[in-house]
Structure 1
Amino acid sequence: MSFLSVITPCYNEEANVVELHARVAAAMATLADCTYEHIFIDNASTDRTVALLREIAAKDTRVKVIVNARNFGHIRSPMHALMQAKGEAVISIVADLQDPPEMIPTLVEKWREGFDTVLCIKRSSEETPAMFFLRRAYYAMVERMASIETIQNFTGFGLYDRKVVEAVRGFDDPYPFFRGMIAEIGLNICKLPYDQPVRRRGITKNNFYTLYDIGMLGITNLSKVPLRLVTAFGFLCACISFISGLLYLLYKLIFWSSFTVGMAPLVIGLFFLGSVQLVSLGIIGEYVGAIHTQVQKRPYVIEKERIGF
């Protein structure tokens, strides 16, 4: 008899948690030789999500709920839930029903075949074509820059053996890029393609900042290429400036009386170099910020309440 853990991060998902619980329970019921726990971690929802989870936990002893003291973000909260899971394998599935619970039996089947990590990879998505294209372009860019083979179109939905979970724990990263960790660990991965449905109820919690945050976190965690590009671009600009100055001097010496350029090249050059400096400082700042987060070593979340444990 195998004991599994299902973890579900949620924030303001009152329209989805009841159906998600029912569909997970139905999927797990097809696995006669498995018992499980279902851990919901709520990021201080402002709607009825916690009240509904409390009702579910009162009826189903397999359901456990962690309520965070505040919203700790979409990166730290799921990692805290992963660290609380006790199962021989852990299944991560979000609350918005865009990760189909009906895939759980297939995940378990692949795990029993010997795969330590079973990842669900988006083959297509019902989101807008422009957003899906941008995601694919980002994954392709990170793939080229990273020093390891990354996993494209992977959102975290999948199954992770206990030794993978313990390997993740060993990173001891206070602001983890989970997808990069899985690629870094590299233990016997199986990839399952699926078509991601559109969110039917509720509002997505992703905005420009959260997408930018996870995007930059992936780059700074997996690659030093941006830093080296800044250095290379600095040398390139220095060479161009030196050659331009030398040509300007020679031209002036040859056509001393008739050569007048004016202020335009100087102003354009100053604005160009100023922009280069700001971009360079921004890239360096992202890496300094990542170091600052590591040094602070804050906990993933502060719990307000536990239900059903």
Structure 2
Amino acid sequence: MSAALPGAGAAVLRPAPVLGIVVPCYNEEEVLPELARRLDEILDGLIAEGRIAPSSHVTFVDDGSRDRTWALIASFHAQSPRWRGVKLSRNRGHQNALMAGLSSAGGDAVISVDADLQDDPAAIGRMVDAYREGAEIVFGVRSARRTDTAFKRLTAQGYYRFLAALGVEIVHDHADYRLLSRRALDALHRYRESNLFLRALIPQLGFKTAVVTYERSSRFAGESKYPLRRMLSLAFEGVTSFSTRPLRLIMVLGSVVSVISVLLGIWALLAELVFHVTVPGWASTVVPIYFICGLQTFCLGVVGEYVGKIYLEAKQRPRFLIEEELAPAEERRAG
């Protein structure tokens, strides 16, 4: 159910919006036909009920796919102007592909959803209702993770708690299934950083929000485009893009190690001068050296990650380049 908005019962509903749906795709030829069928049914139903305008549409973003993804998108567009496409010049990653779609899609409100059908498309109608009641941003939140492995559930829950501990504002169990009003989209486009982590960036916009819950399903077909390596990369991106606490923790950790080193030095002096006891062997010398060297290397790596982000931001390279776009000429936008 959608979260109740303050005063929503007495408020006048917004007019039925022109709804844009953005779907980032990477090698999704096995899923696209079924996804298009379901989205077609949902849009037809919402239009018939007068909840969205007839000119509502879907924009697929091909993020450098190597299969027939773009050919399928082109065939959908040839059948109906409802289906639009954006082909990036090369693979730029999920977050940049999503941003390309949000920059290209028209409409009064835009919903982003992944292509794998794990995020229930039936929640689109409830998101639209929350928007018409006054919400500028509607978060799709997973009510259950029954299809996830125990490892994935455990790491996901731990990651959300870890981000919260670092002071990163993020909606628990929310990925990239959300509705943004045109007002929220215009505000989002003012953020120009290259290191995108939209799950934490969107809550910073403010505005009135609502939540729609849904059950996460199994992937309809194909393989996950987020293996462990990419999940870890996205997780690290979220930490280093929105929190400087790791740098402060390094300072604290360095101070603790320094105190321990001083205490060990005092103990060594007392053992020699007072108790006349010496500890033979190399462990007391080699182990602290290896420990401190490893700690220094780790800390330099964290600092280097932040310096690297400064380097990438300073170059101000475009986040994506559009190779081809299938949309009405008056709505095409530069990448």
Task: Return the TM-score normalized by structure 1.
Answer: 0.95
Q: Which residue does 1:307 correspond to in 2?
A: 326
Q: Which residue does 1:223 correspond to in 2?
A: 243
- Secondary structure at 1:28 match in 2: helix
- Secondary structure at 2:189 match in 1: helix
- Secondary structure at 1:170 match in 2: coil
Q: Which residue does 2:38 correspond to in 1?
A: 23
- Point out 4+ residue stretches in structure 1 off by more than 6 angstroms: none
Counterpart mapping for 1:110-259 below 5 A: 110-125=130-145, 126-146=147-167, 149-256=169-276, 258-259=277-278
Cα deviation per residue 1:31-65 (whole Å; 9 max; x = unaligned)?
23323121111012111111111111100112111
Q: Which residue does 1:37 correspond to in 2?
A: 57
Distance 1:6 1:111 in 2: 14
Counterpart mapping for 1:38-57 below 5 A: 38-57=58-77
Residue 152 (structure 1) shift: 1.3
Q: What residue ranges of structure 1 are gaps of 5+ in the alignment? A: none
Cα deviation per residue 1:201-235 (whole Å; 9 max; x = unaligned)?
11111123311221011111221111111000101
Distance 1:6 1:69 in 2: 21
Q: Which residue does 2:117 correspond to in 1?
A: 97
- Secondary structure at 1:30 match in 2: helix
Residue 261 (structure 1) shift: 3.1
- Secondary structure at 1:171 match in 2: coil
Distance 1:260 1:4, change over 3 A: closer
Q: What residue ranges of structure 2 are gaps of 5+ in the alignment? A: 1-15, 329-335
| Percent of aligned pairs with the same amino acid | 30
Distance 1:260 1:79 in 2: 61
Distance 1:203 1:36 in 2: 30
Distance 1:58 1:155 in 2: 31
- Secondary structure at 1:150 match in 2: coil
Q: Which residue does 1:270 correspond to in 2?
A: 289
CA contact (8 A) 2:169 2:200 kept: no
Distance 2:21 2:204 in 1: 23
Aligned-CA RMSD value? 1.4
CA contact (8 A) 1:65 1:306 kept: yes
